[in-house]
Chain A
Amino acid sequence: MSSDSEHSIEHHIQTYIRVFIALGILTIITVAVSYLEVSFIEAFFLAITIATIKGSLVLGFFMHLISERAAIIWILVATAVAFFILMFIPLISLTDGTEIY
């Protein structure tokens, strides 16, 4: 974090509490929507969307990514690209023409 003056820290504390409340509410929402009668794809999309919002709040505010240096952002961009490639590797198994079970 680049600017750590006493005033900015006090301002940050208010943000941390708001993020904490938001994370709590989103946890309740994610449990509540899991009881909806929807298809697996819809349930998956809802759960991952809420988890991504929660994750972004933790990364952005608790881990200070919104005010972090470019070097860290680039490390994470490279990681995100590698992570998505890793996530899509299982899909290749669906297109290679073999039975999977």
Chain B
Amino acid sequence: MSSIPYILEERPDTGLNNAKLGIWIFLASEVMLFGGLFSAYVFLRFAAPEGDFDYWGSKLSVPMATFNTMVLITSSVTMVMSWASLKLQQFDKYKMYLGITILCAAAFLFVKYFEYTGKFHHGIYPSSSTFMGIYFTLTGLHVLHIIGGMVVLIFFWTKQADKMWAENQDLLANRIEIIGLYWHFVDLVWIFLFPILYLL
């Protein structure tokens, strides 16, 4: 049985391997997914009565969101450091940096849990206002992306990574580069969500 070509080696025409091309096309589709919702936000903001978005936006916690922004930025740098550690043949450091990335993801979700439950406790739900509807939709979709990424990160922190490292070091480094690209994209989305929802 012949193996799938271009798993690690680059295609001569594109200069890319399958995983790299695949993740970038996937991320392009993700830009359009979030783009549709950002567009909806702009439309709803234009259509909202004067002061409506300001009133409901003031009910969000800026300190919590600022903390979460710092957490995601930290997770992005630890993610790229875990990949760099593999490239430097430092598997222990890879595990440490990936572990910190997973902890940052958990911290983000923990803070988000308190934000959401705080809103529910005060009787604020997605149905409370147009702003809250788009707020819960955008941040909820983002949280789902964090959870999805976290599942993959945990997989690459388990014994499976040790096994892959022993069998094919380049393959593991490639896989970490690919999940890293996804993780940075999730950070990138939050970089725009944070000012639009919490600060404007």
Contacts and interface: CB of A to CB of B under 8 A. Distances in A.
B199 A55 contact: no
Q: A-side binding surface: helix, strand, loop or mixed?
A: helix
A54 B180 CA distance: 17
Contact of B181 (A27, A63, A82, A83): A63
A47 B16 contact: no
Chain B interface size, under 10 / 10 to 19 / 20 to 34 / 35 or more: 35 or more
B43 A9 contact: no
B36 A20 contact: no
Interface string A57-69: 0110011000001
Interface in B28-77: 28, 31-32, 35-36, 38-39, 42-43, 46-49, 62, 66, 69-70, 73-74, 76-77
Interface in A24-43: 24, 27, 30-31, 34, 40, 43
Q: B-side binding surface: helix, strand, loop or mixed?
A: helix
A58 B188 contact: yes
A43 B200 contact: yes
Contacts of A78: 28
B32 A86 contact: yes
Given A10-B88, A55-B191, A72 B16 contact: yes
Interface in B76-109: 76-77, 79-81, 84, 87-88
Interface of B: 14-16, 20-21, 24-25, 28, 31-32, 35-36, 38-39, 42-43, 46-49, 62, 66, 69-70, 73-74, 76-77, 79-81, 84, 87-88, 177, 180-181, 184-185, 187-188, 191-192, 194-196, 199-200
Given A31-B62, A58-B191, 20 more contacts: A9-B87, A9-B88, A12-B84, A16-B80, A19-B77, A20-B76, A24-B73, A27-B66, A34-B195, A47-B199, A58-B76, A62-B184, A72-B24, A75-B24, A76-B28, A79-B31, A79-B32, A83-B31, A86-B36, A90-B39
Interface of A: 1-2, 4, 6, 9-10, 12-13, 16-17, 19-20, 23-24, 27, 30-31, 34, 40, 43-44, 47-48, 50-51, 54-55, 58-59, 62-63, 69-72, 75-76, 78-79, 82-83, 86-87, 89-90, 93-94, 100-101
